[in-house]
């Protein structure tokens, strides 16, 4: 409260001081938050006519309520003692946008960051923190631990880092084939000086491996154990990496021995290049989440969907017409499809006329081998066992149909199936117009008129 007593200044002096701070660099944000706290906690605004600090900041500087709260929170988190106009030394150089994001990141992680991290990289770190917070402790307990759980934490983390970054594995292998040094290892893992690798170990949680060129150690932050930090010298990291990468083997064999899988990058035989300038790459690497493995027994059994065989009856009828036409020595006639708008009677009459013309063109023989006077009354077959198809009245046909035993000769059966009898058509051709109309009204159902194939089949049935 001694600092509060020092603010015995007029409103104009106070406002000029705040204007000056807004024009300064990032370090001024903490002081801005401090000055806004002063307006909130003292009666300095009594001469201004504003009742609250938010009204004052909005009217004078266009700073809304959210921004005022953010400035104050920055001061709470990053100022000395949480209530002063001095920024903590380790946070000098960060801008307002970065500090706004860092407010939502644990102090243990913020302490390891430098101003060289971009806003987007700090945003990525924040996203990793939030992602792990969404996972409950029970879920972590139920996760299947990795096979290398017997290894210490730094070895598990380095193993996962190399597995998720095979290009680093390959570069380290090529370098170690010539010489193993901590400087080379650090330059490969953090070519820009600073680097954060985030990996997630099932049963343990996310671990951040933080590298800084100003720090002689590598820092591990266990995000599930209250962001507990452990420090490991580069000499230990070099020893662990040398155990993970076998230089006496090829990079593919070394990878296969360590991870029991094929190396994901095609090997390129090339000499190790001299040390280059740091490459431009992101300073933050996100954790790769492994998808849960399916049951291996279920995976081995291919799932096959039973396929229903298509019905072949319509095709059989169509092929029967074609077979009869070819045996009769005539070319098949293609019947144009009728639209539903045409009269039903016209369709039937045209079908009758077409079938009659086909029968007239087909020579037939009687059962005694003599030519019949009426060619339309018999059917010609080329089989040695001639089929005898005589025209009978409907009553006689039905009677014969009930008493006749089916022929067992496959060739004869095939001929019967492929030979159209047109018994119904012949019966209908003998009817007068009145009788035909009455017969069609009684026998011709609407389902028969759905297609020309169904009409043709109906005409071929025996009655």
Contact (CB, 8 A) for 422 and 459: yes
Q: Does 110 reside within a domain?
A: no
- Predicted local confidence at residue 403, as pLDDT: 46
Evaluate whether 82 touches 76 at the Cβ level (below 8 Å): yes
Domain count, the chain: 3
322 in the same domain as 286: no
Domain shared by 228 and 282, yes or no: yes
Instruction: Check residue 5 and give its pLDDT.
Output: 52
Say if residue 95 is in the same domain as residue 144. no
Q: At what angle do helices 166-176 and 251-259 cross, to 10 degrees?
A: 120
Give the C-alpha distances (Å, rounded to integers) separating 391 from 40, 68, 364, 394, 400.
114, 106, 13, 9, 12
Long-range contacts (CB closer than 8 Å, 24 or more residues apart) made by 362-366: 362/328, 362/330
Structure-token pair, residue 358: 């086909």
Regarding whether 283 and 327 lie in a shared domain, the answer is no
Asked if the structure places residue 307 within a domain, the reply is no
Domain identity same for 93 and 193: no
Residue 300 forms part of a structural domain: no
Helix (H) or strand (E) segment spanning residue 350:
helix 344-361
Separation CA 198–CA 200 (nearest Å):
7
The residues near 84 (Cβ < 8 Å, ≥ 6 apart) are: 3, 34, 75
Counting as low any pLDDT under 50, the low residues of the chain are 1, 269-270, 295-308, 311-345, 360, 362-394, 396-421
Over residues 6-18, the pLDDT tens digits come to: 666 788 888 878 7
In a domain, 337, yes or no: yes
- Which DSSP symbol is given to 261? S
Closest by CA to 352, choosing from 436, 419, 422, is 422
Beta-carbon count within 10 A of 233 CB: 12
- 147/280 same-domain check: yes
Question: Within this chain, do residues 336 and 236 fall inside the same structural domain, yes or no?
Answer: no
Phi and psi, residue 253, nearest 5°? -70, -35
- Residue 381 is predicted with a pLDDT of 42
Q: How many CB atoms lie within 10 A of CB 77?
A: 19
pTM of the predicted protein model: 0.56
Same domain, residue pair 348 and 389: yes
| C-alpha span between 149 and 441 (Å, rounded) | 85
Which tokens is 145 given?
A: 């631990």
Residue 65 included in any domain:
yes
Residues 282 and 357 in one domain: no
Shared-domain flag, residues 148 and 286? yes
Q: Are residues 421 and 327 in the same domain?
A: yes
pLDDT at 353: 57
| Radius of gyration of the CA atoms of the chain, in A | 46
What is the domain extent for residue 188? 132-290
DSSP single-letter state for residue 79: B
* Model pLDDT, residue 148: 67
Length of the chain: 463
Same domain, residue pair 343 and 453: yes
Q: Is residue 27 part of a domain?
A: yes
- Looking at the domain assignment, is residue 227 inside a domain? yes
Domain boundary among 64, 84, 103: 103
Task: Note whether residue 112 is domain-resident.
Answer: no
């Amino acid at each position: 409260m001694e600092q509060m007593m020092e603010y015995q200044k007029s409103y104009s002096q106070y406002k000029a001081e705040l204007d000056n701070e807004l024009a300064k660099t990032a370090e001024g944000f903490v002081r801005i938050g401090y000055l806004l706290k002063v307006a909130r906690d003292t009666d300095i605004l009594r001469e201004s006519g504003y009742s609250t600090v938010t009204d004052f900041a909005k009217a004078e500087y266009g700073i809304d309520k959210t921004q005022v709260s953010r400035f104050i929170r920055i001061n709470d988190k990053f100022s000395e003692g949480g209530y002063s106009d001095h920024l903590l030394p380790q946070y000098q150089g960060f801008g307002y946008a970065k500090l706004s994001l860092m407010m939502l990141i644990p102090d243990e992680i913020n302490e390891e960051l430098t101003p060289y991290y971009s806003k987007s990289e700090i945003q990525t770190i924040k996203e990793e923190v939030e992602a792990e917070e969404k996972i409950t402790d029970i879920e972590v307990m139920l996760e299947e631990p990795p096979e290398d759980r017997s290894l210490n934490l730094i070895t598990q983390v380095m193993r996962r880092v190399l597995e998720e970054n095979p290009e680093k594995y390959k570069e380290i292998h090529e370098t170690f084939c010539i010489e193993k040094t901590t400087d080379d290892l650090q330059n490969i893992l953090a070519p820009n000086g600073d680097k954060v690798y985030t990996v997630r170990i099932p049963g343990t949680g996310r671990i951040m491996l933080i590298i800084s060129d100003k720090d002689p150690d590598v820092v591990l932050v266990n995000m599930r154990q209250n962001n507990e930090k452990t420090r490991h010298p580069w000499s230990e990291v070099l020893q662990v990496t040398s155990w993970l990468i076998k230089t006496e083997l090829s990079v593919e064999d070394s990878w296969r021995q360590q991870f029991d899988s094929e190396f994901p990058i095609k090997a390129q035989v090339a000499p190790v290049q001299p040390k280059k300038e740091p490459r431009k790459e992101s300073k933050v690497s996100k954790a790769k989440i492994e998808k849960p493995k399916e049951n291996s027994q279920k995976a081995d059994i291919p799932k096959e969907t039973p396929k229903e065989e298509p019905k072949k009856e319509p095709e059989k009828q169509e092929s029967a017409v074609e077979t009869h036409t070819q045996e009769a020595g005539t070319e098949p006639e293609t019947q144009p499809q009728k639209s539903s708008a045409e009269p039903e009677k016209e369709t039937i009459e045209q079908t009758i006329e077409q079938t009659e013309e086909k029968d007239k063109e087909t020579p037939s023989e009687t059962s005694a081998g003599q030519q019949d006077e009426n060619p339309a009354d018999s059917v010609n077959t080329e089989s040695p066992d001639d089929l005898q198809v005589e025209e009978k009245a409907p009553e006689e046909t039905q009677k014969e149909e009930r008493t006749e035993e089916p022929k067992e000769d496959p060739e004869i059966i095939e001929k019967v199936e492929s030979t159209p009898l047109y018994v119904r058509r012949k019966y209908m051709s003998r009817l007068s117009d009145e009788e035909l109309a009455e017969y069609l009204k009684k026998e011709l159902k609407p389902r028969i008129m759905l297609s020309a194939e169904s009409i043709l089949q109906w005409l071929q049935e025996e009655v």
